[in-house]
Structure 1
Amino acid sequence: MAVHVYSITFKDHPLRLGDLDGVGTPPTRLRTVSAGPLCAVVSDAPDEELPLGQREFGAYEEVQKRLMADGTVLPLTFGYSAPDDEAVRLALEARADEFADRLGKLEGCVEYDLKASQDEEMLLGEILSESEAARRLNDRVRDGTSDPTAAPRLRELVAVETRARQKALASGVIEALRPFAREIDSTRPDGADFLSVSFLVNEEQDELFLATELSLAHQMGEGFDFRLDGPLPPYSFR
């Protein structure tokens, strides 16, 4: 029977999973498959396709968080499956060095995800205040003395300035937090965000990381929105 594969750990992990359910309807029972020093947490996969609902993802997250609370965990992608237990065991054997190396690098670490945005009116005000070219174009558009190309040129100039400023802001935040992270994974921000980044933080640096992030948010002021999520299992660093 096909199985869902949740995580990989070392075999000496406590694996306190008895009171947790796996994904599926009805919920499936969690068990482990071992090979050498490694262990995979799995459950039977029903014949029908796994629904991508909140209950399913919640069950997946509960497994990862419980494992993280007791030791090092390498979470696999939500919905990852294998043909059967034997296929899982063979994969653990074939990639033993790779998995053991990754677990070693994740030991004692948690993930923090940070997103940040700046108030759009505040940003536009800064651009018009500090860019003479933008200010001049804006004045001409507002007083009606501009040619038809002025408004598109202003929009393009503001867009260029916005990208440059947001890139600099993102870089500054990442560099300020870099000393407290073992690894960093940046992704393309969504919507109004100028920053979307994940940090792998060792427990010994946890307090310094959190204090520095809070200090940065305060320094940048009310026009900025910092959203920090964590501690989390190392989803971005598997």
Structure 2
Amino acid sequence: MVVYVYSITSEDHPRNLNGVAGVGDPPAKLRTVANKGLCAVISDMPAGLRARRRDVLAHQEVQERLMADGAVLPLQFGMTAEDDDAVLAVLEGSAGEYGERLRAVDGSTEYNLKCSWEEEALVRGILLESDEARELNTAIRSGSGSPQMSLALGELVAREAELRQEALAKGIVEALRPYVRDESPSAPGGQDFLSISFLVPQDREEMFLATEISLANQLGEDCDVRLRGPLPPYSFV
């Protein structure tokens, strides 16, 4: 029977899941299988499972309960295996890798940081600080500019905006890096110029958060800094 796989822990993890239900309606009963010093938390796969709010929260609650008692490798919502034996085979075949990842995330949580720059403020800053952009803009606004000038200004602003955002993203990451154990960047979406997850040890969490707040204050209202966490370390499995 197809099984739903929630997470992987060490075999000596307490796995205190009393009162925690699995995904599905009615909720599936959680159970564990162990091999090579590792343990996987699984349940039978409910029919017609989709990413409904109730099921996503149930999946998340399993991770949070396990994290309270030790290291856990949280698997993404919807991870399945053919049956219990298939899970056991994966634990056996990847025991060294999973053991290493458990040691790496032990005592740490994930924080996800996304940043975007208000477009008008970004363009305004470029026009104020770039002589070339300002001259082109003045000529265009006066009516003496050519279509080629408008194209040149657009290209200049786009290029300068990309350079500024890259530099700012690098500066933000470098400021936070002393307080993290690992980092996992991802492609920014929408207006974001930075999307990155950090693995933050508990003994550096306070300084990490204080630094993030300080950065957000320095950047001001024109830069939208969004931090989510603490989270299970999905990005570091």
- TM bracket (short chain): over 0.9
- Structure 1 residue 152 displacement after superposition: 2.1
Aligned to 1:89: 88
Alignment map for 1:42-57 (pairs within 5 Å)? 42-46=42-46, 48-57=47-56
Alignment map for 1:146-225 (pairs within 5 Å)? 146-225=145-224
Aligned to 2:41: 41
- Structure 1 residue 189 displacement after superposition: 1.3
**SS of the counterpart of 1:198?**
strand
Q: CA RMSD in A?
A: 1.2
Residues in 2 aligned to 1:84 and 1:18: alpha-carbon distance in whole angstroms: 23
- Structure 1 residue 77 displacement after superposition: 2.0
Q: Which runs of 5+ in 1 are unaligned?
A: none
- The yes-or-no answer on 1:231 pairing with 2:227 is no
**SS of the counterpart of 1:86?**
helix
Residues in 1 aligned to 2:231 and 2:195: alpha-carbon distance in whole angstroms: 15
- Structure 1 residue 14 displacement after superposition: 1.7
TM-score, structure 1 normalization: 0.96
Detail structure 1 runs of 4+ shifted over 3 Å in the superposition.
none
Alignment-mate amino acid for residue 128 of structure 1: L
Residues in 2 aligned to 1:39 and 1:147: alpha-carbon distance in whole angstroms: 69
- Structure 1 residue 57 displacement after superposition: 1.4
User: Relative to structure 2, which stretch is displaced further, 166-175 or 216-225?
Assistant: 216-225
Alignment map for 1:123-162 (pairs within 5 Å)? 123-162=122-161
Alignment-mate amino acid for residue 11 of structure 1: E
**SS of the counterpart of 1:70?**
coil
Aligned to 1:120: 119
Residues in 2 aligned to 1:16 and 1:33: alpha-carbon distance in whole angstroms: 15
Alignment-mate amino acid for residue 213 of structure 1: E
**SS of the counterpart of 1:219?**
helix
Residues in 2 aligned to 1:95 and 1:187: alpha-carbon distance in whole angstroms: 25
Aligned to 1:17: 17
- Structure 1 residue 61 displacement after superposition: 1.0
- Structure 1 residue 183 displacement after superposition: 0.5
User: Relative to structure 2, which stretch is displaced further, 156-165 or 118-127?
Assistant: 118-127
Q: Could you tell me the percent identity over the aligned residues?
A: 54
User: Relative to structure 2, which stretch is displaced further, 103-112 or 217-226?
Assistant: 217-226
Residues in 2 aligned to 1:220 and 1:51: alpha-carbon distance in whole angstroms: 40
Alignment-mate amino acid for residue 167 of structure 1: E
- The yes-or-no answer on 1:62 pairing with 2:64 is no
What is the aligned length? 237
Alignment-mate amino acid for residue 35 of structure 1: N
- Structure 1 residue 9 displacement after superposition: 0.2
Q: Which runs of 5+ in 2 are unaligned?
A: none
Alignment-mate amino acid for residue 32 of structure 1: T
Residues in 2 aligned to 1:149 and 1:53: alpha-carbon distance in whole angstroms: 52
Residues in 2 aligned to 1:49 and 1:154: alpha-carbon distance in whole angstroms: 53
Alignment-mate amino acid for residue 15 of structure 1: R
- Structure 1 residue 26 displacement after superposition: 2.3
- Structure 1 residue 49 displacement after superposition: 4.1
**SS of the counterpart of 1:149?**
helix
Residues in 2 aligned to 1:148 and 1:222: alpha-carbon distance in whole angstroms: 34
Alignment-mate amino acid for residue 132 of structure 1: D
Alignment-mate amino acid for residue 235 of structure 1: Y
Residues in 2 aligned to 1:143 and 1:49: alpha-carbon distance in whole angstroms: 63
